[in-house]
Amino acid sequence: MKTEKEKMLSGEYYLANDPELLTERTNCKRLLHRLNVTEYVVGEGTRKVLAELIPNAPANLYI
């Protein structure tokens, strides 16, 4: 049986309040807050946050 995340990624109906999805959403909000509030100058901290938020993006995206 598929997990709720697998259902979401495949475009099926899923339960948004699934614990795994809630955890990921909370982590994403934390990273976005860090990026927008504390990492306002592009540097190593910004690159680390972006790499965690968008892990499959090309490395040169984080200029």
Average pLDDT rounded to a whole number, residues 13-34:
96
Q: What is the pLDDT of residue 50?
A: 87
Structural domains counted in the chain: 1
Question: Does residue 62 have a pLDDT over 70?
Answer: no
| Residue 42 domain boundaries | 4-61
Q: How far is CA 30 from the centre of its chain?
A: 9
Query: pLDDT tens for residues 37-57?
Result: 887 777 888 888 888 998 888
Closest CA to 51 of 38, 33, 63: 63
Centre a 10 Å sphere on the Cβ of residue 29 and count the other Cβ atoms it contains.
10
Q: What is the pLDDT of residue 61?
A: 66
Q: Which residues contact 41 (CB under 8 A, 6 or more apart)?
A: none
Q: What is the pLDDT of residue 10?
A: 97
Query: pLDDT tens for residues 10-20?
Result: 999 999 999 99
Specify whether the CB–CB gap between 52 and 31 falls below 8 A: yes
